[in-house]
Each structure stands twice: as structure tokens, then as C-alpha cells.
Amino acid sequence: NNSGYFGALIGRYGNRIAKGRFTINGVDYQLAQNNAENSLHGGLKGFDKVVWQAEKLDTPEGPALKLTYTSKDGEENYPGTLRCEVIYTLTNNNELKIQYTAETDKPTFVNLTHHSYFNLKDAGASDILGHELMIKSDKFTPVDKGLIPTGELKPVAGTPFDFKKPTAIGARVESDDEQMKFGKGYDHNWVLNRQGKDLELVASLYEPTTGRFMELLTTEPGLQVYVGNFLDGTNKGKGGTAYQHRTGLCLETQHFPDSPNQPDFPTTELQPGEKYTQTTVYR
């Protein structure tokens, strides 16, 4: 029942689709507009709100959980029956490895992601402003007031979005930059500097008081960073901790928001006979 997508597996389309509309092969589709006039994280009953079949696996890498779900043709008004499999592995190398696959019987759009909030200091008892974030990215996708990408790929240089060197999240989160005002802080997609299709290190997070350090690897072209701008203490977590403003941050590996309506963005269209794959590692 919570609205924060805490720890959730997100689909059929992570992030926003403008006005909840897209077109495939000349057919227009209207999705639920559950985030102002836009569609967010799969609609009213996205993949975070359905029951997945769960199977325990013992793998050479470590213990794993295989989750499977079939999203029927027309569910949340998306075309095509989409068969999804997601495997979470807690590896012997202290990693949380997430492997996603999906197949469809009709052309459709797919963008699966993971929505855990991280606080490497004290599990959400205090804010994450001292965490130092590094992102291997020269560009980000600016948004309009509704947080929909304008289509531009803007250089991060000279902006609050330059995290090529580890920088405290709180250093520029309150800047007068128009983009920061639109998101009420960081709630944006970075265009990752990637060499190929393989798993690559794209970001890291460091908490200086505890010395905890996390690296992020992915096969995806984008990274949505959200720093808990809309947390307000109404959601309580482990130990009864009330999650206040900016007490956690999300590092959501993904394709870019609104890709179905942005022809210049990497495509999220999946055709019958093709297989969607995505791998992300938090270590």
C-alpha cells in the first residue's frame, strides 16, 4: 500500500511516459495517468503490485531467488503478453545481482528496473546528503516541469549534474538550477558512458562516516538518480523508522524516460522472437 516503491521490481515500463500515450505500428495506446498527466512505473497496478511466482535456487555464485510473472495482453493497456523472469542472486562476492529477461507475443515497450532506496549510514534514520556519488556520465536528459525529457542530451559540465568525480549529494542539491527546481532536487536520468553491451561499472556511492562503499554495474544506457525528495515521514520502515525528506536515494538502471515518444533515445521496443535482457549489480 505504500507509495514509495520501496525495494520494488518496476515494470512494465519504469519511469515516466508523457501523457501516458504511445503509438506502435500506427495503433495509439492510452495508459493510466498516475503521475499528474503522465504514466509512472507501469501504471495503477505495475509490476511492484502483482504477485510473482518465487523459486529458491542454489547457484555456484550464491543463493538466488527466481521470480516469474506473465503480464497479459492489455494489462495496464500495454499490448502483448509479456513473460518475465527476474533472478536476484546474493553472490559470494558480496553483490546483489539482478538479471532480467522478458519475451512478448506482440510488439510492446519494456523498461524494467529496481527501486531500492540506499542509505549507507544508518538505514534511513538520517539524510543521505553526505553520501558521495560518482557517475560515469558526460550528459543527462533535461526535463520539463512534468519531469518528462525534452529530448536534449545536455552536458553535465558546469551544472549540478556533474558527478564524474565523487561529490556529496548535498553539495548542490539546493542550487538555483531550473532542473533542480523541476525535480525538487535530483530526480533525473544520466546518459551513462558505456563502451559496449557488457556489464560495466557506471557509478559508486561512499558514506564517509562509516566507510561503507558501494559500486553499481549495469548493461543499461541510463541511470535515474532519485534522492528521496518526496519522502515526508509518512512511510515507516524497519524498526519503526519514519523515512523523512532525503533519507534514502535510488539508483535505478534503465532505458531513458519517455523513450517510446523520443525517437532519438535508445529504443525500448520489444518484438516477438526477441529477448529483453538487463543485468544490474549492486556490490
Q: Which helix (H) or strand (E) holds 179?
A: helix 178-183
> Residue 68 in contact with residue 85, Cβ under 8 Å?
yes
- For the chain, how far is it from start to end, CA to CA, in angstroms? 29
Say how far apart CA 31 and CA 3 lie, in whole Å.
Answer: 19
Q: Is residue 115 annotated as part of the catalytic site, yes or no?
A: yes
Catalytic residue among 75, 76, 220, 252: 252
Beta bridge partners of 205: 133, 214
Distance from C-alpha of 148 to C-alpha of 262, rounded to nearest angstrom: 10
Instruction: Tell me how far apart the 2 most distant CA atoms of the chain are, in Å.
Output: 55
Reported residue count of the chain is 283
Q: Residue 95 catalytic? A: no
Asked if 161 contacts 196 with a C-beta cutoff of 8 angstroms, the reply is no
Question: Closest by alpha carbon to 119, among 9, 22, 244, 254?
Answer: 244
Residue 116 near residue 122, CB atoms below 8 Å: no
Catalytic residue among 115, 131, 188, 255: 115
> Which run of H or E residues covers position 21?
strand 21-24
- Kindly list the distances between the CA atom of residue 88 and the CA atoms of 37, 72, 97, 176, 178, in Å, as whole numbers in the listed order: 33, 23, 6, 40, 38
Give me the active site residues, please: 115, 252
